[in-house]
Amino acid sequence: MLQQLRPAVMLLIVLTLVTGGIYPAVVTAIAQVAFPHQANGSLIKDDNQSVGSELIGQHFSQPEYFWGRLSATQPVPYNAAASSGSNFGPLHPDLKDAAEARIEDLRTEGSEDRDVPVDLVTSSASGLDPHISPAAAEFQVPRIAKGRRISEETVRQLVHQHTQGRQFGVLGEPRVNVLQLNLALDQQTSK
């Protein structure tokens, strides 16, 4: 028994050094040299100030901004220091209530009276989803155009510019980055 203790302790120490010390340090060094933007959080800089991350969504509720997925993080939506999903099962009453409230908000803000794309009424897994589907963006175009007094065509063009297709035409789903689209809207209108 005890004859196995020494190699167990020694190997744990040595392999801790290798896999817990050297390995992450080497990855960090390579990452910081080769991909500094990505390794540090893909931050969006505006005059040297960070206004967000390309990968982390923000909460939008004003009618002149595109809205993202519902977020279940606490104590504020899109809390990027404590990611969380809703964990509502399909029959949880709060799931239905949240969807109904969202549909009501969309309708009172003047969105069309047609079926709402599912990603607009459901919480994302992370609570930080930066994207919505192109269908969810299109659904909101009339509201944005009215709120900002610009043509729907202009808004649609911006949406189109910020729509990413499937990677290599195959992988993942088509999607629109909400924060980047809204930043572009602000820029367009301030011109």
Partner 1 sequence: MTPNAFLQIGLYVGVLLVCIKPLGLYMAQVYSGQATFLGRFVGPVERLIYRLCGVDPDAEMSWLQYATAVLMLSLVSFVSVYGIQRLQGLLPLNPESLSAVSSDSSFNTAVSFTTNTNWQGYGGETTMSYLTQMLALNVQNFLSAAGGMAVLVALVRGFTRSNTESIGNFWVDLVRGTLYILLPLSLVLAIALVSQGVVQTFSSYEEVALVEATVNADGESVMTQKIAVGPAASQIAIKQLGTNGGGFFNVNSSHPFENPTPISNFLELLAILLIPASLCYTFGEMVGDRRQGWAILAAMSFIFLGILVLTWTSEQQGNPVLADLGVDQAASELQPGGNMEGKETRFGIVNSALWAVATTSASNGSVNSMHDSYTPLGGLGPMWLMQLGEVIFGGVGSGLYGMLVFAIVAVFISGLMVGRTPEYLGKKIGAFEMKMAALVILLPCAMVLLGTASAVVTDTGRASVFNPGPHGFSEVLYAFSSAGNNNGSAFAGLGANTPFYNGMLGLAMLVGRFWVMLPVLAIAGSLAVKKTVPAGAGTLPTHTPLFVVLLVAIVVVVGALSFFPALALGPIVEHLLSTAN
Q: Looking only at residues 95 through 124 of this chain, which bind partner 1 when binding is defined by CB under 8 A? A: 95-96, 99-100, 103, 115-119, 121-124
φ and ψ at residue 97, rounded to 5 degrees: -60, -45
Please, are residues 138 and 151 in contact by the beta-carbon 8 Å criterion?
no
Site for partner 1 in 122-161 (CB under 8 A): 122-136, 138
For partner 1, the binding residue among 108, 170, 190, 191 (CB under 8 A) is 170
47 binds partner 1 (CB under 8 A): no
For partner 1, the binding residue among 90, 108, 190, 191 (CB under 8 A) is 90
38 binds partner 1 (CB under 8 A): yes
For partner 1, the binding residue among 69, 143, 144, 158 (CB under 8 A) is 69
Question: Which tokens hold the place of 42?
Answer: 């893909």
Q: Are strands 131-132 and 43-46 parallel, antiparallel or unpaired?
A: unpaired
184 binds partner 1 (CB under 8 A): no
Half-sphere exposure of 157 (CA within 13 A, CB side): 6
Pick the stretch among 71-79, 143-151, 153-161 that binds partner 1 (CB under 8 A).
71-79
For partner 1, the binding residue among 91, 108, 190, 191 (CB under 8 A) is 91
Q: Is the dihedral of CA 136, 139, 141, 147 positive or negative?
A: negative
- Smallest distance from the beta carbon of 23 to partner 1, in angstroms? 6
Half-sphere exposure of 10 (CA within 13 A, CB side): 5
89 binds partner 1 (CB under 8 A): yes
Please, are residues 159 and 81 in contact by the beta-carbon 8 Å criterion?
no
Pick the stretch among 51-59, 141-149, 153-161 that binds partner 1 (CB under 8 A).
51-59
Which strand (E) or helix (H) includes residue 49?
A: strand 49-53
> Partners of 50 in the beta sheet?
45
Half-sphere exposure of 161 (CA within 13 A, CB side): 13
179 binds partner 1 (CB under 8 A): yes
- Smallest distance from the beta carbon of 116 to partner 1, in angstroms? 5
